[in-house]
Structure 1
Amino acid sequence: MLFTILFGLIATLFLVPFGKKIKSKWSIILPFIPACLFAYYLGYIPKIAEGSTFFQQTNWVPSLNINFDFRLDGLSLLFCLLITGIGTGIFFYARTYLKGHPYFDRFFGYLLLFMSAMLGLVLSDNLLLLFVFWELTSISSFFLIGFNNEQEESRKSALTALTITGMGGFFLVAGLVLIGNIAGTYSISALVDQRETIIQHQLYPLILGFLFIGAFTKSAQFPFHFWLPGAMKAPTPVSAYLHSATMVKAGIYLLARFFPILGGTEMWSYPLMIVGGFTMLYAAIHSLFRIDLKSILAYTTISALGILVFLLGLGTKEAIIAASVFILVHALYKATLFLVTGIIDHETGTRDITVLSGLRKVLLPVGIAAGLAALSSAGVPLTFGFIGKDLVYESTLHAAPQLSLILTALALITNICLLAAGFMAGLKPFFGELPEQYSKLHLPYLSMWIPPLVLGVLSLLFGLFPGIVGDLLSYQTANAIFGKDTAMHLAIWHGFNTVLLLSAVTLIVGTILYIVNKPNESKVKFIEKWSAFSPQAIFTRYANDIFKFSSWYTNSFHNGYLRSYHLKIILFAEALLIYRLWLSGPILINFDNLSPLTIYEVAVVIILLGALLIVIITPSRLTSVVSMSVIGYCICLMFVFYSAPDLAMTQFTIDTLTTVLFVLVLYKLPSFLSLASPKQKIRDMFVALGFGTILSIIALKVIYEPVVKDTTNFYGENAYILAKGKNVVNVILADFRGIDTMFETVVLSIAAVGVYSLLKLRLKPSEKE
């Protein structure tokens, strides 16, 4: 399993040196990367169908409980097949869709990185490893959503998506760390045995809150949903991949994976049912007012994700079965409709459904794919969507008696709206009269219309033979989520019952709604009138307030003057030290125990103070440098007086070298500029005196502190054994120097990246201005 993740990452790295070849000759290789991975995971279906689970464990950072621990069961296999299977179609499609694009190789690098991150996420069996891949999906999706970086809207959408999902990631890691600390393990498989310990812990509500925020932000649940419609600024292959089968389903995967660990309680069920139920209805109604194909699909995607959250909140056996099937149902028809939308936009130059019609006459295979997807989305019999919607109704009907009627009505209204929206996106552009300006359109390359046609046909085949996909895949998916045997078996016909009646009502009323509803620009403007009260507007105002505060903070504390930085750092250090001294209790110092002053100590202090006075009042840089060196040499003498000749020699060498360098560099510079007012000078004097006084008190207190020999004993016992050093001081210095060097390396690496970026920067004339 690890190699499948590394396979995509290594392929991404190869795109850097071979990018030009990929653009011209070798691009055909790219789709076979996910295809090979898809074939690999297909081979696991027979074993997983028998109930087997596969584990792989590789040490990474065992001291921090972070290891490459992977698990492949029914749930992770379903997602692996979606990621690689639909990914294969997307790669073929994008190869043609972006042909000739100057950043063709860069796009596929981002796409491969994202695919690997998603595989790592769904296969992870370690809490912290799961979070690492979770964040990697956010980062790689940021590059994909903002791929058209020359467009301001694309950049804004990418930042919005990264901000919302990044915020969710912050809360998620807090929840995961709490779970690991409470359970005493970071292994997700082992957490099932610690279920009762976690649920009965007082922090259980907090854990759920953190986990829900992480899942809701990633899966675009209200009020975090607005980033997903904005992400439609990305190229169509990105929208089809991220918003049908991968990124937005990551939050659903998270909830499904933790259902056996945290689910089954009222604190789990009610928030998910409320948020998921409101989201699915809100987004389904919104989709009816849209006229842009991508916008329609965005809101129907949000609604479908709401349905999945709602089902996982409901938590009954029927609901889990419905969720396990609907994940696949939605991925198939939504990926198809996104790819079809890309073809329409590619060929006609528009996605406005008010001007699109009759395209079946020139794009028949595309129309067939869209029709099959729309029928599956509507839940028409003999399609896979029919099975999925029936299962949703069955789950609401089997809910608690006091909730059953309300939940069924909610699901019914949502499905009616989704049916009408699906027909708007999948049927309307292809029926009716063909406008004259589209009469000369022709089919794009095979690699663009074959993938959506295959996905559309699969929606039909799985509907005709649901038992096959149910027994081989969905059954074990449901078992993995539910934590025990669900005894699931899918079939086309279950007789005349309430579920069938609800499906018929959905089809009839939804079709009528589609015919009656006439989307137009005025309806879009009507919705936009309420945008000031939308979550997006509220988050935007909040973000603007943060920006204003950040600007004030930056201008106040980071004004570009070094003296200002020094002053604030020293004041903060003084406040911190005073607070610590106050906590330590009264200061009791017996001056009788101090050694008497000697004449040479007093003489050195007088010289030091004189040199310090010269540094303060002199207008000459050279004089100040020489005076500073005198201060340094006086400190050297202090070290000699108190039996520290090694420190004295080090200080002497540094002072001498520093003085020479400063003289060489500064002697040609002009005199000091006296910018400080008398009040500022007085302020600085008190700050300096305060700092010196505090350090003196600390030095005196140290004398009376009890000596703790733990550190001394440790280095004395282990310096030679572990570090092979006979000089304990040298060992300590080497240890700390090693840590210091590590951080210096990081800083220099970051600086190198910045310098390289500046060297590669190519600004347009307008940007230079």
Structure 2
Amino acid sequence: MPLAGAAIAPLLVRRLGHNAAWPLALTMLVPFLIFASHLPPIASGQAVSGGFAWAPSLGVNFSWRLDGLSLTFALLISGIGTLIVLYSGGYLKGHPHLGRFFSFILMFSAAMLGVVVSDNLLMLFVYWELTSITSFLLIGFDHARVASRRAALQALLVTGGGGLFLLAGLLMLGQMAGVTDIGGLIAGGAGLRQHWLIEVALLLVLMGAFTKSAQFPFHFWLPNAMEAPTPVSAFLHSATMVKAGVYLLMRLYPVFSELPMWQVLLPVFGATTLLVGALLAVRQTDLKLILAYTTVASLGLLVMLTGIGSERAVQAAVLYLVAHALFKGGLFMIAGVIDHEAGTRDITRLGGLCRAMPLTFAAALLAACSMGGVPLLAGFMAKEEIYEALIGGGWSTLLLVVAIAGNALMFAAGFAIALKPFLGARVETPNHAHDGPVLLMAGPVLLAVLGLAAGLGASALHLYFSSPMASAIAGSRITVAISAIPHLSTAFALSMLTILIGVFLLLALGRVRASVDAGVRAIGWGPDRGFDQAVAGLIRLSFRIGRFLQPGRLEIYLTITFAIIALCLLYPMVLFGELPAWPRGSAPLEFHEAAFISLAAIGLFAVLASKSRLTAIVSLGIQGFAVAVLYLLFGAPDLAFTQFMVETLSVIILALIMTRLRVEITDRRSVPQILMDGTIAVACGVGFTLFLLRAVEVPFNGELSTFFGQHSKLLAHGANVVNVIIVDFRGTDTLGEIAVVLITGLAILALVRLRAAKPTASFNDPDSEEGARS
């Protein structure tokens, strides 16, 4: 349905304008309702699957599977996607390319749904790369701006490059497990972990997941992607695409979770990403960039929790993922509302908007409370469970400290967005600020309220979402029972400590921002700049390799080609002892046969001894005619006729070229060059001779000849077997050969006409334009 909506979106926008958002939203709402209908059976522990054979010869099935993990993601994608489509209609009202935008966002939605419901490894990869392609289109939507184009290219290169690593990892896993479906892969996880290449497969999969979910040091592409319109930021870079990597890690958790490498790499990179993202968030003054870096931090937190490997950590990751999608999607939309209605996203130029935008303020405050882990909201439950998972001493203590620091920084960033634009003295803004229309406000208000509803209705949330999702990740039944109502415990005390630190950071936000900014400037070089340097270096390297491999001299290409041919012919026969025996018992040559063979040898000698190229070309034709006569003598008139035609045309065409193009009349190669070329030529001749002698030693298999003899008349209604083979059985091949001959003839004609048009230029004069082209 999203793909159908993408197809008709431009037409609907032309007819309905921005109001096309309402019918287009149905293409996301209906899938949401269909997915929601599966909540009861999946909550009871069942799984829903289906599909059909897509490419049976490759073992690729268009198969899908819904369990607690995939269903939760599908509901988040389709549900938030419905709100985003409506929000886009209000945010981009009057935009000349609104129809194109709707097509892109719906294509992305379809690709993202494909990722989370796929039950086939290659099908998952196809949709995985489709999300990269469609996000490239969305990030670069404002293609007239250089920053948008750069951000789109950067996102495509980073996530697409990571996707290539992922493809290798998925193929390795499929080969190691002997299955192509994800369900079968997970079921055989215990045996798979014993394979000696499992760590290599893990590293490849992590490259795909880390690049997609913006883990350090690949985090830089996500904030740069904020060049996209705000609906894109709210949908792709908070609730859906950037969580694809987290989804993949959660999906493959039963396969990798017991590996020591998994339990080290994920917490280390996740914790680093959490701290880096949170620190860079408080450095920003742009609302979207603040949210972008807190998204990086949140993704690091999710990866860290997924890598710990405990049941508590899985529960915490599940709760935080759902809570994050609700509050971050809402806050991104709120940032867009402020920008759309007030005319700026710079937090230093905003203030006192609470009276002008009361509904926006209420939604922002509610979403920020969930992001900050205030009791009664979904974010509070997630934070409590995070601390419960990390309380245990040793390695977990360090991760606990990182989690407290990261959450406190995100608390300050979230409430900076919720409070700074709305409280304090009124600051004049470029636009007359007010709450947005219903299309703009429906999404953020509903998501903020859902964050509160999820906390107050925790039992229903756990029954239908948290417990089934955690069970699907862990591969065993898990019951989540945490409440959003505060209760005395160590985790609650740590939550309050986090809030206190966050309040302190919020009050001192200006000084904290200056300190972080000074630290970043002191470091100077970073991954974003490194990306530009890496791309520039790659371009220089490819240019040098291209100049080395493609110097523009035909003689070098021919020398390398024939040298490799000789090597491929001779080396295997010598290495594996496959040299042919010398033919014995052959019939003596008849006089006429020996005469034509001698004629071919004389032609060869004439080619070598000729002093001009034209003479060599004519002499070369002597050999061809001699071979054609031999074909005729041995009962192959069709082949002989073809050979006569080819040799005649070759001589005529080459002669025409040599007379029209100003090339050297004689061969001026040096003696070493002649010796090298002669050696390669002799090696090719000897190689083909030995190869053919070895081939005729193999007993002849006449099945194909018998088939053509029996069926040429019956199937193709032709008595001439050779003609039938060429025209009917190999018709496509013959058509290709005709096309090649036609293209070659056109190229030769172009060369001749080019020389005729500019007779003064010389192909051997490097200072002339034609010499440079040669």
- Counterpart of 2:447, as a letter, is L
In structure 2, relative to structure 1, the CA distance for the partners of 1:706 and 1:333 (3 Å cut) is same
Question: Residue 236 of structure 1 contacts residue 338 of structure 1 at CA under 8 Å; is this kept in 2?
Answer: yes
Match of residue 617 from structure 1? 613
Match of 2:538 in 1: 546
Offset at 1:576? Answer: 4.5
Q: How does 1:251-650 map to 2 (within 5 A)?
A: 251-397=245-391, 399=392, 401-437=393-429, 440-493=432-485, 495-518=487-510, 526-530=518-522, 532-560=524-552, 562=554, 564-577=556-569, 579-580=571-572, 583-585=575-577, 590=582, 598-607=594-603, 610=606, 617-618=613-614, 632-650=624-642
3-state secondary structure, aligned to 1:360: coil
* Offset from partner CA, 1:72-93 (integer Å, 9 cap, x none): 1111111111111111111111
Structure 2: which amino acid aligns with 1:128? L
Question: CA separation in 2, counterparts of 1:184 and 1:432?
Answer: 64
Once residues 544 and 455 of structure 1 are traced to their aligned partners in structure 2, the CA distance between those partners, rounded to angstroms, is 42
SS in 2 for 1:68: strand
Residue 671, structure 1, aligned to residue 661, structure 2: yes
What residue in structure 2 maps to residue 167 of structure 1? 161
Q: Which amino acid in 2 is paired with 1:145?
A: I
Q: More deviation in 671-680 or 471-480? A: 671-680
Relative to structure 2, which stretch is displaced further, 604-613 or 64-73? 604-613
Report which stretch shifted further, 625-634 or 446-455.
Answer: 625-634
Q: 1:636 Cα deviation (Å)?
A: 2.5
Q: Could you list the per-position Cα deviations for residues 83-130 of structure 1 after superposition, in whole angstroms to 9, with x for gaps in the alignment?
A: 111111111111222233232222222212111111111111111111
Report the CA distance between 1:27 and its aligned residue: 5.0
Q: Secondary structure at the match of 1:71?
A: strand
User: What is the rounded CA distance, in whole Å, between the counterparts of 1:377 and 1:506 in structure 2?
Assistant: 12
Match of 1:132 among 126, 130, 134: 126
Give the counterpart letter for 2:598 in structure 1. V
In structure 2, how many angstroms separate the alpha carbons of the residues matched to 1:521 and 1:275? Answer: 24
Match of 2:102? Answer: 108
Q: 1:150 to 1:631 in 2, by over 3 A?
A: farther
Query: In the alignment, which residue of structure 2 is the partner of 1:694?
Result: 684
> How far apart are the structure 2 equivalents of 1:130 and 1:735?
39
What is the TM-score when the length of structure 2 is the normalising length?
0.86
Question: In 2 relative to 1, CA 26–233 (structure 1 residues): closer, same or farther, beyond 3 Å?
Answer: closer
Q: Deviations over 1:330-386 (max 9, x none)?
A: 011111111111222223332221111122222221222111111111001121111
- Three-state SS of the structure 2 residue aligned to 1:100 is coil
Among candidates 192, 199, 204, match of residue 205 of structure 1: 199
- Decide whether aligned partners of structure 1 residues 738 and 331 sit closer, same or farther in structure 2, where only a CA change above 3 A counts: farther
Match of 1:186 in 2: 180
| Equivalent AA in structure 2 for residue 132 of structure 1 | V
Provide the rounded CA distance (Å) in 2 between the counterparts of 1:569 and 1:157: 42
Cross-structure match for 2:217: 223
- Displacement of 1:220: 0.6
Shift of 1:242: 0.7
CA distance in 1, matches of 2:168, 2:47: 28
Match of 1:703 in 2: 693
Q: SS of the residue aligned with 2:54?
A: strand
Q: CA RMSD in A?
A: 3.5
SS at match of 2:394: helix
- Within 2, Cα distance between the matches of 1:55 and 1:38? 17
Contact 2:287 2:417 in 1 (8 A): yes
* Distance in 2 between residues matched to 1:18 and 1:252, nearest whole Å: 35
> 1:14 and 1:612 mapped to 2: Cα distance?
69
Compare 485-494 and 220-229 and name the one that shifted more.
485-494
What letter is aligned with 1:273? P
Distance 1:376 1:270, change over 3 A: same
Residues 120 and 572 of structure 1: CA distance in aligned 2, closer, same or farther (over 3 Å): same
What is the CA–CA distance in structure 2 between the aligned matches of 1:609 and 1:396, rounded to whole Å?
A: 86
SS at match of 2:283: coil
- 2:49 is paired with a residue of what secondary structure? strand
8 Å CA contact retained: 2:342, 2:434: no
Change (3 A) 1:624 1:493: same
Contact 1:22 1:105 in 2 (8 A): no
For residue 486 of structure 1, report the CA deviation from its aligned partner.
1.0
Is the Cα contact below 8 Å between 1:289 and 1:527 reproduced in 2? no
Q: How far apart are the structure 1 equivalents of 2:206 and 2:738?
A: 38
Q: Any conservation in 2 of the 1:290–1:519 contact (CA below 8 Å)? A: no
Contact 1:291 1:520 in 2 (8 A): no
Query: Which piece of structure 1 moves more, 190-199 or 638-647?
Result: 638-647
Q: Give the superposition deviation at 1:667.
A: 7.6
Equivalent residues of 2:169, 2:204 under 8 A apart: yes
**Please, what TM-score do these two structures have when normalized by structure 1?**
0.86
Comparing 722-731 and 233-242, the one that deviates more:
722-731
Counterpart of 1:57 in structure 2 is 51
CA separation of 1:16 and 1:363: change in aligned 2, threshold 3 A: closer
Larger Rg: 2
Counterpart position of 2:756: none
Tell me the distance in 2 between the aligned counterparts of 1:676 and 1:534: 60
Match of 1:762 in 2: none
Residues of 2 paired with 1:743 and 1:600: CA distance?
29
Please say which of residues 527-536 and 726-735 is displaced more in the overlay. 726-735
Show the counterpart of 1:96: 90
Q: What's the CA shift string for 1:669-725, capped at 9, x where partnerless?
A: 843334999347973773365135323333224314574459765786799799968
Aligned partners of 2:195, 2:690: CA distance in 1, in Å? 47
- Give the count of matched residue pairs: 732
User: What is the aligned partner in structure 1 of residue 116 from structure 2?
Assistant: 122
User: Which shows bigger deviation, 632-641 or 147-156?
Assistant: 632-641
For residues 259-292 of structure 1, the C-alpha deviation after alignment (integer angstroms, 9 at most, x for no partner) is: 1222233222111111111111221122111112
- 1:228–1:298 CA contact under 8 A, matched in 2: yes
Do the aligned partners of residues 711 and 517 (structure 1) sit closer, same or farther apart at CA in structure 2, a change above 3 Å counting? Answer: farther
Q: Is 1:291–1:519's contact at 8 Å kept on the other side of the alignment?
A: no
AA of the residue aligned to 1:102: P
Distance 1:743 1:637, change over 3 A: closer
Bigger shift: residues 623-632 or 156-165: 623-632
Distance 1:306 1:199, change over 3 A: same
Distance, in Å, in 2 between the alignment partners of 1:480 and 1:103 is: 41
Do structure 1's residue 69 and structure 2's residue 63 form an aligned pair? Answer: yes
Q: Which amino acid aligns with 1:277?
A: A
Q: d(CA) in 1 for partners of 2:735 and 2:88?
A: 45
What percent identity do the matched residue pairs reach? Answer: 35
Q: Report deviation, 1:660.
A: 7.7
Deviations 1:435-489 (A, max 9, x none): 1346832333320122111111111111222212121211101111111111222
Residues 719 and 728 of structure 1 are in contact (CA less than 8 Å); yes or no, is this contact kept in structure 2? Answer: no
Q: Output one character per residue of 1:634-666: Cα deviation in whole Å (capped at 9) or x when no partner.
A: 442343355543332333445556778889xx6
The structure-2 alpha-carbon separation of the partners of 1:706 and 1:605, relative to structure 1 and needing over 3 Å to count, comes to closer
Could you list the per-position Cα deviations for residues 705-763 of structure 1 after superposition, in whole angstroms to 9, with x for gaps in the alignment?
A: 57445976578679979996896996699777658989999xxxxxxxxxxxxxxxxxx
C-alpha deviations, 1:27-56, integer Å up to 9, x for none? 542222111211221211222222221010
- Higher mean alpha-carbon deviation, 331-340 vs 285-294, is at 285-294
Worse-superposed segment, 278-287 or 704-713: 704-713
State the AA in 2 paired with 1:212.
L
Structure 2, unmatched stretches of 5+, are: 740-774
